[in-house]
Structure 1
Amino acid sequence: MKAQDIMAKTVISVDIDERLPEIKKILETHAFHHLPVIENGKLVGIISDRDLLRIISPFIDRVSEQPRDLDTLNRAAHQVMTRQPISVKAETPIEEILAWFKRVDISCLPVIDNEEQVIGMISWRDLINHATF
């Protein structure tokens, strides 16, 4: 079995200059945990819901909100994303994907073509859903 056999083929990505409120909205609307970040059609980073939790102030919309809290929303994707994310090709064997998940603390891998365009995403959930015991 290969990456192309289990990857999610419908991928929503964001531009490198997209602002955090829109990124947060996309993640919440689609119940995603990761978004590929694209520049000129190529994968340049990835943003997770955990990145947003780490960056966006928890005081927004609270009585104690300060101007600096709202400033956390003005950041662009390139200021928050993980750069040079680990990615795989469609032909990558599942065994290699499993090895990446075990070796590195990640829960998702973008699948790219030879031009570094995102053609799919694989999460640990995809692996579990397609596991044969």
Structure 2
Amino acid sequence: MKVEEVMTRKLVTVEPDDNLGLARDIFQRTGFHHLLVQEEGKLLGVVSDRDLLRAISPHIGTLAETERDLATLNKKIHQVMTRKLVTLPPDAQLADAVAAINRHPISCIPICNHKGEAIGIVTWRDLLREMEHHLRA
């Protein structure tokens, strides 16, 4: 089976100079866990909800919140994004995606066309969902 058969095609992107507050809002609205970072259509990186949580104050939204805590939302995405990307073409096999996630400290793989443009994303959850489907069949 090819990754294009399980990849998510609905991509949400941000730009490197967007702030973490925007990323936080997108994560909360969409339920996604990864955002592709692009500039002028070029894929530069990925920012995950875990990257966001590591970068912002844990006091945001609590009674202990201060202006300093809120200021962490003004950090730029390029300050926390993953730049060393592992990508695959849409015709790669699911086994290639599993191998990539097992061999690298990543939780998603952008799927790129022959021009290097992101056309989808595969996460470890997508792979587990497909595995469950086959195990139950």
Code of the residue aligned with 1:75 in structure 2: it is K
CA contact (8 A) 1:34 1:49 kept: yes
1:52 equivalent in structure 2: 52
CA contact (8 A) 1:7 1:122 kept: yes
1:90 equivalent in structure 2: 90
1:14 equivalent in structure 2: 14
Question: In the aligned structure 1, how far is the partner of 2:62 from the partner of 2:123?
Answer: 34
C-alpha displacement at 1:59, in angstroms?
2.1
Moved more, 104-113 or 33-42: 104-113
C-alpha displacement at 1:63, in angstroms?
4.2
1:119 equivalent in structure 2: 119
Question: In the aligned structure 2, how far is the partner of 1:61 from the partner of 1:98?
Answer: 37
1:68 equivalent in structure 2: 68
CA contact (8 A) 1:46 1:83 kept: yes
Runs of 4+ in 1 over 4 A off after TM superposition: none
Q: Which runs of 5+ in 2 are unaligned?
A: none
- Alignment: residue pair count: 133
C-alpha displacement at 1:105, in angstroms?
2.4
Question: In the aligned structure 1, how far is the partner of 2:24 from the partner of 2:33?
Answer: 10
**Could you state the TM-score of these two structures normalised by the residue count of structure 1?**
0.91
Question: In the aligned structure 2, how far is the partner of 1:62 from the partner of 1:124?
Answer: 31
Q: Which runs of 5+ in 1 are unaligned?
A: none
Identity of aligned residues (%): 40
Q: 1:10 is paired with a residue of what secondary structure?
A: coil
The 1:65–1:4 alpha-carbon spacing in structure 2 relative to 1, beyond 3 Å, is: same
CA contact (8 A) 1:111 1:122 kept: yes
